[in-house]
Structures are given as structure tokens and as C-alpha cells.
Amino acid sequence: MALTDTVPAAAPPAHEGILRRQSLRESAARTYARSLPIVPVRARGLTIEGADGRRYLDCLSGAGTLALGHNHPVVLEAIRAVLDSGAPLHILDLATPVKDAFTTELFTTLPPELAENARIQFCGPAGTDAVEAAFTLVRTATGRDGLMAFSGAYHGMTAEALAASGGARHTSVARLPYPYDYRCPFGTGGERGAELAARWTRNVLDDEKSGVPRPAGMILEPVQGEGGVIPAPDSWLRRMRELTAERQIPLIADEVQTGVGRTGAFWAIEHSGIVPDVLVLSKAIGGSLPLAVIVYRAELDAWQPGAHAGTFRGNQLAMAAGAATLAYVRANGLDRRAGELGARMLARLRTLAAAHDCIGDVRGRGLMLGVEIVDREAEADATGARPADPQLAAAVQQACLDRGLIVELGGRHSAVVRLLPPLTITDEQADAVLDRLADALSAAVRTTPGSTGPSPTTLRGTSA
Ligand code: PMP
């Protein structure tokens, strides 16, 4: 595959005009638009075509939303079927055949222990609203108020979801250590680091003078996404499940980004075998359209009518597209495929890391992959970790874009290059992605002077 399929001699004015007007008219808080100055006009599968005629391999996938890539035929067919049927598109939270089919399909994918006795709440159509709903649910059910969340977490941008995230500024949410192998807060890493993180949590829970009252719930991501693609060890997740179950604390698994096959299992919690009390779901469950729900154990269903309301909880097109996506992933074993291909891509990334001392760590699960870019000239600390190099990471992202590859940055210092390709990516496309990334890395290293750690002047937008 050619690096960039077409590069016209002069970009059409429409393309530049749109970008110029965007920078004049849109908010200073815009995010992806800053590092990805492209104007998508057509898209199919892994490929996006810009208004300037350039084609890109899209490994951002709408921040992990597009399990089947752009405009998959089964998704388009499902949307057309609703449009052609004359069904209402907006129905608040009323029952419809489309909604009924979505719920049935979603429940088919759940761990049987949860599906047997589950309730679903349709939320406002963003992950963050479902996180808020989860908090209201567990607070009502337990009569307690506080929450426990983890360093590096990302749960959304509404007040409570933000308070539970690692970027929180003012919060009463108790923050616990998430096992981060490469930058282990206990200086050990591996299973030992995860065990110490779990002990810390147990201690906070059981020490009457810890300053943290028994919480209404604990929220965690099985793989931190925005936090830098950090998979939690299965043993740690099982410990969190034990600790919360023993103390009647509802465990909320935020699978907004990890769900629908992304990590190599349909739901990422399946790797460890745990069954949470609440699952927060969004992104891929809408098949590229906005949809968010929580699914939870019926015993928690103690809230009152209207406890979590919202106008847009009945998007029929999203439910149809989502049901089609869930069914397609399930029928075609795309979760297994993500696990196998992801493992091969990770192995190739490890080879790349051996050749580039600016790569501190590569990690991931399934098709949720991360490459942590570090200062190649800095000394490693006692655990072998070097300071993040956000400047170089931004240069890698730009060099990828120049080569027709869209990647996202994440992590504590925006220094983790993230790959979130659709689960439908072929072996050849995966090779093309990694070839472009390898080339971009070499180019960025050649053109970026060595830095001495995270620059406070590197101001990047927050991810979704
Ligand atoms: N939880 C997780 C794990 C996420 O990754 C995100 C978005 N990146 C959210 C919640 C928030 O979702 P939304 O942006 O749709 O509000």
C-alpha cells in the first residue's frame, strides 16, 4: 500500500477554508481538531479520505467507538432499515421493537451471572452521563455517599465523572493506586506492584482512621485508556472484586472504551472472570452513533422514577446500529480476532522498542495498544523508567499524520502513542499501520532535539 495514496499539488481551497473557519469560530477547548487538521469527507473501514484528497488509516476510530470501522455495511443496513420502516426516531424512554432487540442482543453478550438478573438504564448519549447514572444508582442503593476511584482514570467530563478521573482538581473521591507496571508507584512493578496496590486499597478500606468512610461504590477501568493504555492485571481485578464484595461495596466497571471485543474478550472483565455490580457502556455499543447505558444487578434497582432522566435516551438509529454491531462482533468472533491480532502487533511493537531507545514501554490488550515515548537522553530511575517525552510523542503523531496514519496520544503526560484500530482491520492493514508508525518514529527522532522530560509548556487538549 502506498504511503499516501494521493497528494494533489495544491490543496483545494475548500479544505483550507474549512480549517481556517474552524480555527476562527470553534472553541479554544477543541481537542482532536488541533493535532489532526484534516477535513474528513468519506470513510470506509479503516480509511478516511480528506477534502484534500488524501487518505488516512484511522487508528483513532472515533476514540475507540468504531468497532467495525467507518460505515460498515451491516451498520448502514440497520440504519436504513429503521429509516425505511417509518419508525419514530425519537421516543424518550418508551418501548419500541428496535429498543427491545437492542436490549436482547446486549443481554446475550453479558456474563450469564449478570444477564440472568440484570436491569438496564438508558442514559443521555455519552459515556459520562452513564457514569453519573452509575454513581446515583449506587448512592441510592447503599445510602452512602463517597466513591473510590484510581489514579490515572478517565470517566468523562461531567462534574462527578470528572471528580472520579485522574485529572480532578477538587474532589472528595478517594484516590487509590492503579497498578502501572512501567511507572509503579511502589517501585516494584509486575505482580508484586499490583499486590501492593491491592494491599493499599484494603488498608484504606479497613483502617477506621484512614480518613475515607466506606464508599457508595468503587469505579475502575479494566484497561485504562486515556490514562495511557494500562491493562490491570487479572489478579488485581479479582482482588478488587473480593475486597468490594466482602464489604458490600458495589463495583462499577467502566467499559466505555474496553467493551465490545476491543481487548480480546467481549467485555474486558471476562479476562479476569469477575462480575461487577454495574457495567458502564457507551462508544462501540452505538455502532458509531451516540448511545450510553448502565447494566446492573437488579438488587441495586432501588432508585425512584426520574432519578436519572434525560431527553435523548431513545435514539433508535443508534440502538439499531448498536444491535447490528454487537451481533456482528459476536457472530464473527471479532473479540478473539482482536486478541490474536493484538498480540501479534504487540510483539512487533516490542521489536520496534528494542530498536528505539525513545520507547520506554509498549503494552496493551487486544486492539488497544500503547507505545510510551520517553526522553532518550535522560537517566532511567531505579525501576528502569525514564521521564515521558511529550514533545517527541507529538512529533511522532505529526509524522504519522504526514504518512497517512491517524493515531491518538494519551497517558499522564500525553506521551503514549495509542492505537485503537477497528476490530475488522486485516493483517495487511495492521502491517501497513506498523510500517508507517516505525517510519514516523525514526523521522521524529531525527528531527526532534532530545528533551529533558515533560515540558510544562506542552499544552494539549483533553481526550474524549
Ligand atoms: N469512560 C471511559 C473509560 C472513557 O474512555 C470515556 C471517553 N474516552 C468516557 C468514560 C467518557 O465518555 P464520553 O466522552 O462519551 O462522555
pLDDT over 60 (residue 453): no
Q: Is residue 454 part of a domain?
A: no
Give me the amino acid identity at 358. C
Nearest to 348 by CA among 431, 409, 276: 431
Expressed in angstroms and rounded, the spacing between residue 290 Cα and the centre of ligand 1 is: 12
- Ligand 1, residues 65, 150, 155: which to mutate, most atoms within 8 A of Cβ? 155
Give 171-229 pLDDT, tens digit per residue.
Answer: 679 999 999 999 999 999 899 999 999 999 999 999 999 999 999 999 999 999 999 99
Task: Specify whether 280 is located in the same domain as 320.
Answer: yes
Task: Specify whether 400 is located in the same domain as 260.
Answer: no
Nearest-CA residue for ligand 1 atom 13 is: 127
Q: Is residue 186 part of a domain?
A: yes
SS in 3 state form for 290-322? CCCEEEEEHHHCCCCCCCCCCCCCCCHHHHHHH
Task: Specify whether 325 is located in the same domain as 339.
Answer: no
Q: Domain tally for the chain? A: 2
Identify the pLDDT of residue 26: 97
**264, 338 contact by CB (below 8 A):** yes
Ligand 1 atom closest to the Cα of residue 126 is 15
Rounded Cα distance between 402 and 3, Å, is: 9
Ligand 1 atom closest to the Cα of residue 158 is 16
Expressed in angstroms and rounded, the spacing between residue 206 Cα and the centre of ligand 1 is: 31
Rounded Cα distance between 114 and 6, Å, is: 50
Expressed in angstroms and rounded, the spacing between residue 17 Cα and the centre of ligand 1 is: 31
CATH of the domain at 404: 3.90.1150.10
Q: Which domain holds residue 375?
A: 334-447
The response to whether residue 126 sits with its C-beta less than 6 Å from ligand 1 reads yes
**200, 175 contact by CB (below 8 A):** no
Expressed in angstroms and rounded, the spacing between residue 156 Cα and the centre of ligand 1 is: 5
What are the start-end ranges of the H helices in 358-450? 390-402, 427-447
Expressed in angstroms and rounded, the spacing between residue 195 Cα and the centre of ligand 1 is: 27
Q: Is residue 132 part of a domain?
A: yes
pLDDT over 70 (residue 459): no
pLDDT above 70 coverage of the chain, percent: 94
Task: Specify whether 132 is located in the same domain as 194.
Answer: yes
The response to whether residue 256 sits with its C-beta less than 6 Å from ligand 1 reads yes
Give 375-394 pLDDT, tens digit per residue.
Answer: 999 999 988 899 999 999 99
The response to whether residue 63 sits with its C-beta less than 6 Å from ligand 1 reads yes
Q: Tell me the CB-side half-sphere exposure of residue 245, using CA atoms within 13 A.
A: 10
* pLDDT band, residue 36 (cuts 50/70/90): very high
**137, 216 contact by CB (below 8 A):** no
* pLDDT band, residue 9 (cuts 50/70/90): low
* pLDDT band, residue 12 (cuts 50/70/90): low
Q: Is residue 112 part of a domain?
A: yes
SS3 145: coil
Rounded Cα distance between 295 and 137, Å, is: 11
The response to whether residue 226 sits with its C-beta less than 6 Å from ligand 1 reads yes
The response to whether residue 225 sits with its C-beta less than 6 Å from ligand 1 reads yes
The response to whether residue 284 sits with its C-beta less than 6 Å from ligand 1 reads no
Please state, rounded to an integer, the average pLDDT across all residues of the chain.
Answer: 93
Radius of gyration of the chain (CA): 22
* pLDDT band, residue 170 (cuts 50/70/90): low
The response to whether residue 252 sits with its C-beta less than 6 Å from ligand 1 reads no
The response to whether residue 316 sits with its C-beta less than 6 Å from ligand 1 reads no
Ligand 1 atom closest to the Cα of residue 153 is 3
Rounded Cα distance between 270 and 259, Å, is: 10
Question: b/e string for 71-99 if b means 16 or more Cβ within 10 A?
Answer: ebebbeebbeebeeeeeeeebeeeebebb
CB atoms within 10 A of CB 53: 15
Task: Specify whether 146 is located in the same domain as 263.
Answer: yes
Ligand 1 atom closest to the Cα of residue 463 is 8
pLDDT over 60 (residue 415): yes
Give me the amino acid identity at 246. E
Q: Is residue 324 part of a domain?
A: yes
Of the three residues 270, 296, 331, the one that is the final residue of a domain is: 331
Identify the pLDDT of residue 167: 81
Q: Is residue 288 part of a domain?
A: yes
Expressed in angstroms and rounded, the spacing between residue 137 Cα and the centre of ligand 1 is: 18
Task: Specify whether 214 is located in the same domain as 95.
Answer: yes
Nearest to 190 by CA among 180, 203, 199: 180
Rounded Cα distance between 378 and 415, Å, is: 15
Rounded Cα distance between 259 and 265, Å, is: 8
The predicted model scores a pTM of 0.94
Expressed in angstroms and rounded, the spacing between residue 204 Cα and the centre of ligand 1 is: 27
Task: Specify whether 301 is located in the same domain as 380.
Answer: no
Expressed in angstroms and rounded, the spacing between residue 179 Cα and the centre of ligand 1 is: 20
Task: Specify whether 420 is located in the same domain as 277.
Answer: no
Expressed in angstroms and rounded, the spacing between residue 433 Cα and the centre of ligand 1 is: 25
Rounded Cα distance between 109 and 330, Å, is: 8
Rounded Cα distance between 4 and 2, Å, is: 6
**314, 90 contact by CB (below 8 A):** yes
| DSSP code string of 107-140 | HHHS-HHHHTTEEEEE-SSSHHHHHHHHHHHHHH
Q: Is residue 277 part of a domain?
A: yes
Ligand 1 atom closest to the Cα of residue 128 is 16
Task: Report the DSSP beta bridge partners of residue 280.
Answer: 254, 294
Identify the pLDDT of residue 169: 72
Q: Residue 386 class from Cβ within 10 Å (0-12 exposed, 13-18 middle, 19+ buried)?
A: buried
Give me the amino acid identity at 139. R
Task: Specify whether 156 is located in the same domain as 228.
Answer: yes
**Least confident range of 154-163, 341-350, 391-400:** 154-163
The response to whether residue 228 sits with its C-beta less than 6 Å from ligand 1 reads no
The response to whether residue 166 sits with its C-beta less than 6 Å from ligand 1 reads no
Task: Specify whether 308 is located in the same domain as 374.
Answer: no
CATH of the domain at 232: 3.40.640.10
* pLDDT band, residue 53 (cuts 50/70/90): very high
Contacts of 245 (CB under 8 A, 6+ apart): 251
Of the three residues 331, 346, 369, the one that is the final residue of a domain is: 331
Q: Is residue 313 part of a domain?
A: yes
Task: Specify whether 364 is located in the same domain as 298.
Answer: no
Identify the pLDDT of residue 456: 38
Task: Specify whether 281 is located in the same domain as 351.
Answer: no
- Ligand 1, residues 283, 312, 416: which to mutate, most atoms within 8 A of Cβ? 283
